[in-house]
Amino acid sequence: IIAKESAEKNEEKFRKAILTNPDAITINRFDDGAYIVANEGFYKTFEYVEDEVIGVSSLKLNIWDNLEQRSEYKKLLEKCGKIENFEAKFRTKTGKVVESLVSSSIIILDGIKHTINLTKDISYLKKIETDLLKAKEKAEESNRLKTEFLNNMSHEVRTPMNGIIGFSEMLDKPNLSDEKRKYF
């Protein structure tokens, strides 16, 4: 009785941890991708409700933005038994693309192969990364233009300075007549 109560308490803790996690957590049948369990994080991220998801395959929901990624994911998962931080793009119910990191493991439930999946929306991080790359490129372009400007200014200042220095040197020659010195 004590062991059963302890197991029930542990199951309740895990259930709450999964269902209340802000990241999308799902359990899918491996062979057809049908959703068996999906948490609130999944429904919020992908804009579905439970009745639209449970028992339906990921292919029927058209959730994978790129089916080649799905094939690669499935092959890796079958080969290794688990995947960590697989980068994939998914489509929400309204068609918005969500860039994600997926970590999955194969599990056996009632003798049937399933996957348990944690999908983290990294769209915001990808946007920041893109913005940083653009800012870096802009800074590099500004630096290149500044260097080009300084090189041009240096040339523009050097040319008349060379003339002034040349005439100054000529004026300093001892055998130069007063008339030529005045002319220079």
* Mean of per-residue pLDDT scores for the chain: 86
pLDDT of 20 > 80? The answer is no
73 neighbors 88 (Cβ within 8 angstroms): yes
- Range in 57-66, 83-92, 146-155 with the lowest mean pLDDT: 146-155
Task: pLDDT band for 5, please (50, 70, 90 cuts).
Answer: confident
The whole-angstrom separation of Cα 109 and Cα 36 is 11
Phi, psi of 115 (to 5 degrees): -125, 140
* Residue recorded with tokens 């348990």: 116
Alpha-carbon span 64 to 5, nearest angstrom = 40
Confidence of residue 164 (pLDDT cuts 50, 70, 90): confident
Residue 171 amino acid letter: L
Whether the predicted pLDDT of 38 surpasses 90: yes
Alpha-carbon gap, residue 103 to 81, rounded angstroms: 11
* pLDDT value at residue 123: 83
184 pLDDT above the threshold of 70? no
The model's pTM is 0.67
pLDDT tens digits along 42-52:
999 999 999 99
pLDDT tens track for 88-116 = 999 999 999 999 999 999 999 999 999 99
